[in-house]
């Protein structure tokens, strides 16, 4: 296994980072380009491993996708243009690829199989296979539909009225993509609002979708038209530098091109509640996905409570919020976040165990964690456990450490942020 020595004992971070494309929107841009009619162009697509898995799956489904100078061209022929794949669709580490793809394949009258890496094999799939079965597709998977590998023979979908048991944009999106192929109107009710990139993209590709509070309705049989998609920067990637700028004394960082979709900006609320010095500039609110630049300066921070409807708006930022809490005065409580247990790793356990190795005062609870600040972090050997967000959080933790920090398995970071270390190094020079 590879291991690297991380930069530690950093006095300040200064400079700017152009945040790479949003992972969720990049996945969807390929999927919608594939199921729409005509040539879709995508700029600022994230070339992270997860999004490359999505491209590779759609190529296996017969879709022509070209890449030139960081610009994607996708030649879609509608849902009907997808062809029976002759190989297993390998989703790698990507939960978004497999869950959304299941919704698309549920309506296709051919056979396909899906599988991924060891992490994907542990992630719950019944939340998607269950409602798709209700819509009438044939879908089966290991342990009664619960885990990969998955087999689907789709076609003839009936619409459903479905109350989501968990707040999950992946599950919602999968049912919406199946709903677009069903014979009638599909309605989904969310327990809490989750990221709405799929809903926005249905509109961007000329489709109709109705939203009333937490109830979303989509009609089947709509013909989607190709579009030009510009992917804003990923606020979940920006989060690592937002926290780094807030906690490393004497820092000032300009983060350019950050997606500011209100279903994703929970991290900004937490930063403000904890006393961070943050300013948003050049906001673009006219595009399908809003964006802007953010300046973060270091400041003293206080503990907070993160809970309830805020959780889905920052679900991927909880590891880095936990690190920030180690540098805040007083206690921080994170609750209502059981979903962390079924991410790329069990993120309650990995965050608590890895931060403890660096001397943090942190404990796991049934649905989150409690962190006591303010702690000086020490050195040690830590691991990403193959989870990109744990790897990046630990690289930011190391900046604050007085001693050497070794990170095992840093490669996983390229799942969502291939040039993370280059961007971090630019701020320390």
Q: Would you say 39 and 71 are in contact if contact means Cβ atoms under 8 Å apart? A: no
Residue 317 binds to ligand S3P (criterion: CB under 6 A): no
Place of tokens 């943090």: 360
Among 316, 317, 354, 387, binds ligand S3P (CB under 6 A): 316
Least distance between ligand S3P and beta carbon 268 (Å): 17
**Minimal CA–CA distance to 311: which of 138, 195, 219, 421?**
195
Cα–Cα dist 392/408, whole Å:
12
In the complex, minimum distance from the CB of residue 344 to ligand S3P, in angstroms, rounded to a whole number:
8
Among 4-12, 63-71, 166-174, 361-369, the segment contacting ligand S3P (CB under 6 A): 166-174
Question: Which of these is catalytic: 90, 234, 316, 387?
Answer: 316
| Span near ligand S3P by CB under 6 A; candidates 151-159, 163-171, 207-215, 421-429 | 163-171
The pairing of beta strand 71-77 with beta strand 37-43: antiparallel
Among 29, 168, 257, 414, binds ligand S3P (CB under 6 A): 168
Q: To 5 degrees, how large is the angle CA 150–CA 127–CA 409?
A: 70
Site for ligand S3P in 210-249 (CB under 6 A): none
Q: Which is nearer to ligand S3P, 380 or 417 (CB)?
A: 417
Name the percent of the chain in helix, strand, coil, to the closest 5.
35, 30, 35
Find tokens 């249905």 and name the residue.
202
Looking at beta carbons only, is 173 or 265 nearer to ligand S3P? 173
Q: Distance between CA 97 and CA 106 in Å, rounded?
A: 14
173 scored as a contact of ligand S3P (CB under 6 A)? yes
CB 380 within 8 A of CB 58: no
**Contact flag: residue 53 with ligand S3P (CB under 6 A):** no
Least distance (Å) from ligand S3P to the CB of residue 266? 12
- Minimum distance from residue 55 beta carbon to ligand S3P (Å): 15
Is residue 339 a contact residue for ligand S3P (CB under 6 A)?
A: yes
Phi (first) and psi of residue 330, to 5 degrees: 90, -165
CB nearer ligand S3P, residue 8 or residue 147: 147
The answer to whether the beta carbons of residues 188 and 196 sit under 8 Å apart is no
CB of 215 to ligand S3P, least distance (A): 18
* 42, 106, 315, 322: residue in contact with ligand S3P (rule CB under 6 A): 315
Q: How far apart are CA 116 and CA 53, in angstroms?
A: 10
Q: Which of 29, 44, 170, 327 binds ligand S3P (CB under 6 A)?
A: 170
24 binds ligand S3P (CB under 6 A): yes
- Output the smallest distance, CB 250 to ligand S3P, in A: 32
Is 46 within 8 Å of 21 (Cβ atoms)? yes
Site for ligand S3P in 63-102 (CB under 6 A): 96
Alpha helices in 282-429 (DSSP H): 318-326, 347-357, 388-399, 420-428
| Residue window 248-277: x/- pattern of binding to ligand S3P, with contact defined by CB under 6 A | ------------------------------
Q: What is the dihedral of CA 324, 325, 329, 332, to 10 degrees?
A: 150
Q: Shortest Cβ distance from residue 231 to ligand S3P (Å)? A: 12
Site for ligand S3P in 176-205 (CB under 6 A): 194-195
Going by the DSSP 8-state scheme, the letter that residue 423 receives in this structure is H
- State in angstroms the smallest separation of the CB of 175 from ligand S3P: 12
Q: DSSP label at 159?
A: P
Comparison of 117 and 339: residue with beta carbon closer to ligand S3P: 339
Q: Any bridge partners for residue 229, and if so which?
A: 42
Of 306, 238, 224, the closest CA to residue 19 belongs to 238
Q: Which residues of 279-314 are buried (b: 16+ CB within 10 A; e: fewer)?
A: eeeeeeeeebbbbbbbebebbebebbebeeebbbbb
Q: Which stretch binds ligand S3P (CB under 6 A): 169-177, 293-301, 355-363, 400-408?
A: 169-177
Task: Give the SS3 label for residue 184.
Answer: coil
Is residue 351 within 8 A of residue 322, CB to CB? The reply is: yes
Q: How far is the CB of 101 from ligand S3P (least distance, A)?
A: 12
3-state SS, 66-78, equals: EEECCEEEEEEEC
Q: Is 316 a catalytic residue?
A: yes
Name which of 8 and 416 has its Cβ closer to ligand S3P.
416
Site string for ligand S3P, 368-407 (x = CB under 6 A): ----------------------------------------
By CB under 6 A, the count of residues binding ligand S3P is 11
DSSP state of 241: H
Catalytic sites, residue numbers: 316
Which residues are at the interface with ligand S3P (CB under 6 A)?
24, 96, 168-170, 173, 194-195, 315-316, 339
């Amino acid at each position: 296994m590879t291991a690297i020595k991380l930069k530690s004992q950093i006095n300040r971070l200064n400079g700017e980072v152009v945040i790479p494309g949003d992972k969720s929107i990049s996945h969807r841009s390929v999927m919608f380009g594939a199921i729409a009619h005509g040539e879709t162009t995508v700029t600022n697509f994230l070339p992270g491993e997860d999004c490359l898995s999505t491209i590779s799956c759609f190529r296996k489904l017969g879709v022509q996708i070209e890449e030139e100078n960081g610009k994607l061209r996708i030649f879609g022929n509608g849902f009907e243009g997808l062809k029976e794949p002759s190989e297993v669709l390998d989703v790698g580490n990507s939960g978004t690829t497999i869950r959304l793809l299941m919704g698309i394949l549920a309506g296709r009258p051919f056979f396909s199989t899906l599988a991924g890496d060891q992490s994907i094999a542990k992630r719950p799939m019944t939340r998607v296979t269950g409602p798709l079965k209700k819509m009438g597709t044939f879908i089966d998977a290991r342990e009664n539909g619960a885990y990969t590998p998955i087999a689907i023979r789709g076609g003839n979908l009936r619409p459903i009225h479905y109350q989501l048991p968990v707040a999950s944009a992946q599950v919602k999106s999968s049912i919406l993509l199946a709903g677009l192929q069903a014979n009638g109107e599909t309605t989904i009710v969310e327990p809490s609002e989750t990221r709405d990139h799929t809903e926005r993209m249905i509109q961007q590709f000329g489709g109709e979708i109705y939203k009333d509070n937490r109830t979303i309705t989509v009609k089947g049989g709509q013909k989607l038209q190709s579009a030009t998609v510009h992917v804003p920067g990923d606020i979940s990637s920006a989060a690592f530098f937002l926290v780094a700028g807030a906690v490393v004394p004497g820092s000032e960082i300009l983060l350019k091109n950050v997606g500011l979709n209100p279903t994703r900006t929970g991290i900004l609320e937490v930063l403000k509640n904890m006393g961070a010095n943050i300013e948003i500039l050049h906001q673009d609110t006219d595009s399908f996905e809003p964006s802007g630049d953010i300046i973060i300066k270091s400041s003293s921070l206080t503990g907070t409570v993160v809970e309830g409807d805020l959780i889905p708006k920052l679900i991927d930022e909880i590891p880095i919020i936990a690190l920030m809490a180690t540098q805040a005065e007083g206690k921080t409580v994170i609750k209502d976040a059981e979903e962390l247990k079924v991410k790329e790793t069990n993120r309650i356990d990995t965050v608590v165990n890895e931060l403890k190795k660096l001397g943090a005062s942190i404990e796991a609870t049934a649905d989150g964690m409690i962190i006591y600040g303010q702690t000086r972090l020490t050195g040690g050997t830590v691991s990403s456990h193959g989870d990109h967000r744990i790897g990046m959080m630990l690289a930011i933790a190391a900046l604050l450490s007085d001693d050497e920090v070794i990170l095992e398995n840093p490669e996983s970071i390229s799942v969502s942020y291939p040039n993370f270390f280059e961007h971090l190094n630019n701020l320390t020079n």
